[in-house]
Amino acid sequence: AAPGGAPRDRVVVLIVAATTAVLALGLYLAVGSPGTPDQPFAKRVAAWRAADPASLDPSQMAAVLSVMAKNNPTDPAPLQAMAIAQMASEQPIAAQTTLRKALRLAPESPGLWASLGESFVAGAQGVVDVDAQRAFQEALKREPANRAANYYLGRAAFAAGDKAAGLARWRAVLDTLPADDPRRAGLEAEIAAAQAGGPTQAQI
């Protein structure tokens, strides 16, 4: 409530809040399972750690990696893997927080900077925004041939209308991919489309 609000307004808010709580409790008693024993989170994580990793969904894998990161507080690798799992489970903001922790441990890692850039892209619904571009540039300072950074900065160049710069970055990435790399076909198709007139804004 705004400071100095009318007493009647505050009473209305309290009534609505109390009613909401009562309705929620009634709904839970009607369709929930109040008699089911609790399943502590730690117990579930322990079960996931003992399971085949291929059977876990991304959010479960992120929980397992969170424990690993706590048990190895000076190792950035579990944090990076945890961030990838968080992005896969559509938690880009959580991934950004995790990657910043990892970068405090390994600030010179180009892979971590590139992953941070990808988390910004995920959070921006595929747009390579300013934050993502800065992260990718940090990756390139440490590894000029970083594939992810060059690919996404190429996308940013196309979005800005700089077709030549975008093609140059994508061709540089293509040159680093082995002949049998399954990503070559997709990138070659993108390059061909760009040469023919450039990708549409929707494709970008």
pLDDT at residue 5 is higher than 70: no
Give the tens place of pLDDT for each residue, 116-130: 999 999 999 999 999
Identify the band that residue 36 occupies on the pLDDT scale cut at 50, 70 and 90: low
Per-residue model confidence (pLDDT) at position 1: 39
Tell me the whole-structure pTM to 2 decimals.
0.71
CA angle 184, 189, 190 (to 5 degrees): 100
Per-residue model confidence (pLDDT) at position 99: 96
- Give which of 151, 97, 87 is closest to 123, Cα–Cα: 87
Give the tens place of pLDDT for each residue, 37-92: 555 766 777 777 667 777 777 778 788 888 888 888 899 999 999 999 998 889 99
Residue with tokens 């991919």: 177
Give me the mean pLDDT over the 97-107 stretch: 96
Per-residue model confidence (pLDDT) at position 64: 81
Per-residue model confidence (pLDDT) at position 13: 60
User: Using CA of residue 124, residue 129, residue 130, residue 134, what is the dihedral sign?
Assistant: positive
Percentage of the residues of the chain whose pLDDT score is greater than 90: 56
Q: 163-176 vs 147-159: helix axis angle to the nearest 10? A: 160
Report d(CA 151, CA 155) in Å as an integer: 6
Mean pLDDT of the chain: 83
2, exposed or middle or buried, with CB in 10 Å at 0-12, 13-18, 19+? exposed
Give me the mean pLDDT over the 99-114 stretch: 96
